[in-house]
Amino acid sequence: MKSKTSPRKIHVIKVILIAIIIGLIGVNTSFLTNNTSILRSTAADPTVVWNITLTINGSSGASNAVFFGEATNASDNKDIYDMPAPPMPPQFPAIAAWFETPFPVPFNNLIYEYKHYPSNYTEWNLSILWLPAPGNTTSTSITINWDSSQLLKITNLTLFLYENNTILANMLTTNSYSYIVTPNEPLHRFQIISQNQPSNNNSSEQNQIPLPPLFIYFLVIFMVIIIVLVLLYTRRNKSRREFLNEVEEKKTPILRREEEKAEEVVVSAEGYDITPPDKGEVKIKKKKEKAPKEEKTAETKEKPKKSKEKTEKKEKPKETKKSKTVSNRKPSKSHKKHKR
């Protein structure tokens, strides 16, 4: 016979399927969200993974800007993204900024510098030169500004601003850094260092798959717990069935016979036969009437009486004949003497 699945088991299976579907939807939405953020940050060029604009402003009114980032088709050597820095401005005070490279002139100083993505370690050498007005001997405050929202929110990305091997700012959590410059030391050299975890994919041109959000892990844990509970429940039912089967097998033949006899017992009460049926239903059958049998027996009893009466009638005439014969006989001598 086919075993019917219980409603409780069906409900548990439905819950597991719903949890799996929700988990898959969460993974897909997280992946699509990260991909759309990549395209949104680099709408002009989809090969650019992330980029930042550094705006440099001085308290004297001078300003400048440089650009850097990472792209999948960029290289650590000279490539299409490299753009030489313009010459020094003729007006003073002024600020000059560039990225230093080992490339030949004019690509040794770049205003645009993109590195290859992904890479474990990337470094940009930023140089900022303050050109004061003639005769100015006072110090000036310079502020470097950037928009951290332009960065791709990848959990394995770090980006720090260094000077002389000292961390000045975390560029993912802050948006600016200020320092004081003097006419005696107008040039400052900074290092911007980015670190990424290595990609699992052998192809270096493919973007790294982003990590799933935290709620996916909770869903996975929840699914594992449900599966364990279902397995325990089924195992418990199986062991229970096995135990019941063993108990039935251990029953002695005498008990089985007694059970069979008990099922076949017929209880009679007030003209009704109550027989225990096979499936627990009580069937009440009315007794067959025995009156016709009694009538037959009465008739059979009456018949011998009639036969006896006939025989008696037949025998009576014989007796009369005998009595006549006896009366016709002569009395004996003894009888005469007795009369005397």
Whether 307 is in a domain gets the answer no
With residues binned 3-state (H G I as helix, E B as strand, rest as coil), the percentages for the chain, rounded to 5, are 40, 25, 35
CA neighbor of 142 nearest in space, from 92, 177, 185: 177
Q: What is the pTM of this model?
A: 0.47
The verdict on 79 and 15 lying in the same domain is no
- Check: CB of residue 99 under 8 Å from CB of residue 124: yes
Q: Once rounded to an integer, what is the mean pLDDT over residues 12-28?
A: 61
Residue 311: is its pLDDT beyond 70? no
As for how many domains the chain has, the answer is 2
pLDDT-derived band at 214 (thresholds 50, 70, 90) equals low
pLDDT-derived band at 33 (thresholds 50, 70, 90) equals very low
Name, of 9-23, 67-81, 238-252, 284-298, the range with top average pLDDT.
67-81
The verdict on 90 and 188 lying in the same domain is yes
Rounded to whole angstroms, how far apart are CA atoms 238 and 252? 24
Q: Once rounded to an integer, what is the mean pLDDT over residues 312-338?
A: 49
The verdict on 33 and 116 lying in the same domain is no
Rounded to whole angstroms, how far apart are CA atoms 161 and 57? 17
Q: What is the DSSP letter of 82?
A: -
The verdict on 191 and 65 lying in the same domain is yes
* pLDDT recorded at residue 103: 92
Whether 189 is in a domain gets the answer yes
Looking at the chain, the whole-number percentage of residues with pLDDT higher than 90 is 24
Q: For the chain, what is the HEC assignment?
A: CCCCCCHHHHHHHHHHHHHHHHHHHHHHHHHHHHHHHHHHHCCCCCCEEEEEEEEEEECCCCEEEEEEEEECCCCCCCCCCCEECCCCCCCCCEEEEEEECCCCCCCCEEEEEEEECCCCEEEEEEEEEEECCCCCCCCEEEEEECCHHHCCCCCCCEEEEEECCEEEEECCCCCEEEEEEECCECEEEEEEEEECCCCCCCCCCCCCCCCCCHHHHHHHHHHHHHHHHHHHHHHHHHHHHHHHHHHHHCCCHHHHHHHHHHHHCCEEECCEEEECCCCCCCEEEECCCCHHHHHHHHHHHHHHHHHHHHHHHHHHHHHHHHHHHHHHCCCCHHHHHHHC
The verdict on 31 and 92 lying in the same domain is no
Identify the domain containing residue 184 by its residue range: 42-195
| 331 token code pair | 């009395």
* pLDDT recorded at residue 240: 77
pLDDT single digits (tens) 104-156: 999 999 999 999 888 889 999 999 999 988 888 889 999 999 988 777 566 67
Looking at the chain, the whole-number percentage of residues with pLDDT higher than 70 is 54
* pLDDT recorded at residue 216: 76
Q: Once rounded to an integer, what is the mean pLDDT over residues 53-72?
A: 92
Residue 339: is its pLDDT beyond 60? no
Whether 62 is in a domain gets the answer yes
Q: Once rounded to an integer, what is the mean pLDDT over residues 151-165?
A: 82
The verdict on 28 and 47 lying in the same domain is no
Residue 55: is its pLDDT beyond 90? yes
The verdict on 179 and 151 lying in the same domain is yes
Q: Taking the CA of residue 244 as centre, how many other CA atoms within 13 Å lie in the half-sphere pointing to its CB?
A: 6
Whether 265 is in a domain gets the answer no
Rounded to whole angstroms, how far apart are CA atoms 58 and 64? 9
Whether 23 is in a domain gets the answer yes
Burial of 85 per CB tally in 10 Å (0-12, 13-18, 19+)? buried
- What is the residue-averaged pLDDT of the chain? 72
* pLDDT recorded at residue 75: 87
The verdict on 53 and 169 lying in the same domain is yes
Name, of 253-257, 282-286, 287-291, the range with top average pLDDT.
253-257
The verdict on 82 and 123 lying in the same domain is yes
The verdict on 28 and 160 lying in the same domain is no
Rounded to whole angstroms, how far apart are CA atoms 78 and 115? 10
The verdict on 53 and 133 lying in the same domain is yes
pLDDT single digits (tens) 174-200: 999 999 999 889 999 999 999 876 545
Residue 204: is its pLDDT beyond 50? no
Q: Taking the CA of residue 17 as centre, how many other CA atoms within 13 Å lie in the half-sphere pointing to its CB?
A: 6
The verdict on 84 and 49 lying in the same domain is yes
